[in-house]
Structure 1
Amino acid sequence: MKLNKMAMSLFIISSLFFLLGCETKSQSLSEEQKEELTLAIDQFNNAFANSDVSTLASMITENYMHTNGTSKAIDKETWLNYLNKRNQQIKSGALVFNDYKMSQLKIEFHNTTAIVTGKVSSSFSKNDEIKENEFRVSNLWVYEKGTWKRAGFHDGKIK
């Protein structure tokens, strides 16, 4: 529990630091650009569910930070290495994703940055055992060079 609180605190502090470090000119997004974020989130979730590592790599920032409730924060390279190992398990049939979806999506815009929260439900089979999980997630997305990229992630397990 203490580790989870530390990880969440780190994510919040990092997010605030990132927001404060961004250009503060009053650049606002068009409604179309805001709608593009929902499409990007769907594309990202589909790529994760289908283990499309190259799409995921193209949709995160260079200084990406990923934190799970059970581990310390990792950078882009470490997260992509994890995805490649996971991809090998999927290709071999050792890991099978039965279902992966995000619900209860809430987006809060701050100029060209967005905080995205939601609930992720997944079901997968590993070693002939079906596991179901639910997580509360927080994502930090930034609009850079005409596209949305995920800059940060944190989750906390519900079940």
Structure 2
Amino acid sequence: MKLFKTFLTFILVVTLSQCVNKEATQEKTKIDLEQQLLESIDKFNKAFQEGNVKVLESMITENYLHTNGNSKSIRKKDWINYLSKREKEIQSGNLEVIEYKLSETEIELYGNTAMVTGKVTVSNKKSSDIKNNEYRITNIWVYESGAWKRAGFHDGKIK
């Protein structure tokens, strides 16, 4: 009987430790995913500021949906076309992106999907005219094939 109680105690300890290890692993995975997402967002925003269409195109989903507060939603192809024109303006010096900064970032993970909200501050110079704007943004990111990709975007102008 004593051997049976010892065996049951051993099984209980092993089972509980597995549960604790599983929770710790899940929390570590969540932290790792958030860190990878933040790095992806930084890479994406840098590419946008510099007008790097190749990087941006590689970081959005095939069914990407982009919505600005002042226009109708567009799909990946149309957004890439817009970015290509913008890239040429940046390369020619007609457009200088002085600042493109995301702040007040909040992330909510839902498995392999994340909702990211924040505030974007933008400062552009075009024909010696400097424009400063701020936007509230919501992005949808999905983790696919070992990388975070942006699946959706929406902004609303603050001022």
TM-score normalised to the size of structure 2?
0.80
User: What is the aligned-residue identity percentage?
Assistant: 54
Unaligned runs of 5+ in 1: 1-27
Kindly indicate whether structure 1 or structure 2 has the higher relative contact order, using CA contacts under 8 Å at least 6 residues apart.
1
How large is the RMSD of aligned CA atoms in angstroms? 1.1
**Kept in 1: contact 2:139–2:153 (CA 8 A):** yes
State the partner residue of 2:94: 94
Find the aligned partners of 1:100 and 1:40 in 2 and give their Cα distance.
Answer: 15
State the partner residue of 2:37: 37
**Kept in 1: contact 2:50–2:90 (CA 8 A):** no
Q: Which runs of 4+ in 1 moved over 2 A?
A: none
Is 1:130–2:130 an aligned residue pair? yes
State the partner residue of 1:16: none
Number of residue pairs matched by the alignment? 132
TM-score normalised to the size of structure 1?
0.80
Unaligned runs of 5+ in 2: 1-25
State the partner residue of 2:60: 60
State the partner residue of 2:6: none
Find the aligned partners of 1:44 and 1:77 in 2 and give their Cα distance.
Answer: 17
Is 1:141–2:137 an aligned residue pair? no
Amino acid in structure 1 at the alignment position of 2:49: A
Find the aligned partners of 1:119 and 1:139 in 2 and give their Cα distance.
Answer: 11
State the partner residue of 1:115: 115
State the partner residue of 2:83: 83
